[in-house]
Structure 1
Amino acid sequence: MKKYYWTFIFLYAAFSTNAQVKYADSLLTAGYTQVAAVEYERVLFETQDPEVRNEAILKKAFCYKLLGQYNEAYQNLLRANLFDENDSINDRLRYESVLTAFMASKYNDSYNQYVQFKYYSKDTALVDQAKVIAVLALNEQQKWGLASELVSELNESYSLKLDTAELFAVSKRPKIRNLKKQQLATTFFPGYVLVREGQVTSGLLSFTLKSGIVFSTFYHIIDKLYFTALLSGGMYNVFYAGSTEHAIESIKVNNQKKITRFNEKVSNSLFKALETSNFLLF
């Protein structure tokens, strides 16, 4: 993907008429990315021309992307005046906002930026590229119903021959376990959740320790050894808190694995279909 960023930078720099922007462009072309970012910021400080400012903001965002600082790139793009008359720059700024928000794991922001981009832009090809990113962002939020609608639109526009209904079928979606219900199950069935999540040894150990402590506590109460029973109860609380936290963390990990597998399946199917069509990938 970096190759694409560089290509665009070179093409875009040729149209710059501002001397300071040209100087920053030369630094970026020479590989001085961090220094170039500083020079683009200098442009923002010294000029009030909205078109020049937007150009500097866009190119500073490229610098941040090349440095792997995606959140900084996104926050930088939010400074742009998107109601300037230069639609070409505005479209690129909006597209980059969709992309950098996604790369910064701000998935809801990424989708919202796409919605605005679609509303304001007439560049359908670039909007459709942003739509692909929006699908990925919705998948990460488990909003598969809305994602399927966007894929259906791409399917129709580019004749992708994707069975969207089958791809996003409810029966195919990952079964996500409810954390509150599982925590309740752990309370009454020690180790049950861990065993079911595939951690048999940890689950059986948890069950054995908790059961032993409970038995010991009641035994000492019957023998009127209340202080010892109190200590046993304290041990149970410690083991209970630790094993419950471990069980919940295991559920979170397994839930995420299921979500990731499903999202990767959808993404792979979508990209494979796009590659065989006339769609211009990133």
Structure 2
Amino acid sequence: MVNKKSGLGKNMDSLFGANRISPEALEHSKTASRSPEAGEKVVSLPLSQIEANPFQPRLHFDDESIKELAQSIQENGLLTPIIVRKTGSKYQIIAGERRFRATQSLAAKEITAIVRATNDDTMATLALIENLQRDNLDPIEEARAYANLMAQLQVNQTQLAEKLGKERTTIANGLRLLKLPNAVQDLVQSGDLSMGQARALLGLEKESQVNEAIQTIIKDQLNVRQVEALVKRLNAGGQKPQKKAESPFAKDLANRLEDKFGTKVKVNAGQKGAGKIEIAYLSEQDLARILSILSIEVD
């Protein structure tokens, strides 16, 4: 039976070739390094001659994970070479920036690499796919990467989705986050605001409303549904929904029941004669007292 690859997997094959090193492979796989293509070879390059990928969508690297990777490299060596391209007298990383940073932290002088001829379009696409496969990007980094890649490749949302093996709605929803004020985007990146909360804020018409909403969300620890309700209220002028006026019948009945049970009673009259009665009790003993008034025996 032939295993079908995901959209991202197929794109990686088309970009790297069937026998090339795949960026989705973990930095320290237990298997041997994959062979370079015909005409390519693994070489040692001075770290001082290597530059970061100019199309790298990932702006933040976790120091702890880099430290763990560095320890692994120190103990086992670099099992998978990084992939670079030559630009003038320097080299730019195509895949393997975490491995590069980890090796750099060990005060090493050189790193093993495969030099590959790659154009800007392929390099930008590779950088995004590599990070998407590892779930390395926060929602804002991902959205900015979509926008940059669309400009780089001169494609629309549908065409980009096809290239990345994504749904068009995924691309569209990500790009919408870039319409939020920079301060809100920063909160998403720091993890203080979820993608769902941020997306709900897109329904607000004024930046002043967004700022007000942010303060309320953080102060009251609102969930997504509560944020959506807050957005509706702010768009309606900031007025809280008016409570339905209590009917004279419900009010009178509640008072009479409170007198009988000696506790708080709430009567909610619904439509077509339906409704519900809520009787409050303060303890198990208080509940037993109320049940006794109702002639209900409890074992």
Q: Same fold (TM over 0.5)?
A: no
Q: Counting helix residues as a fraction of each chain, which structure ranks higher?
A: 1
Q: Which has the higher strand share?
A: 2
Report the TM-score, using the length of structure 2 for normalisation: 0.28
Report the TM-score when normalising by structure 1. 0.29
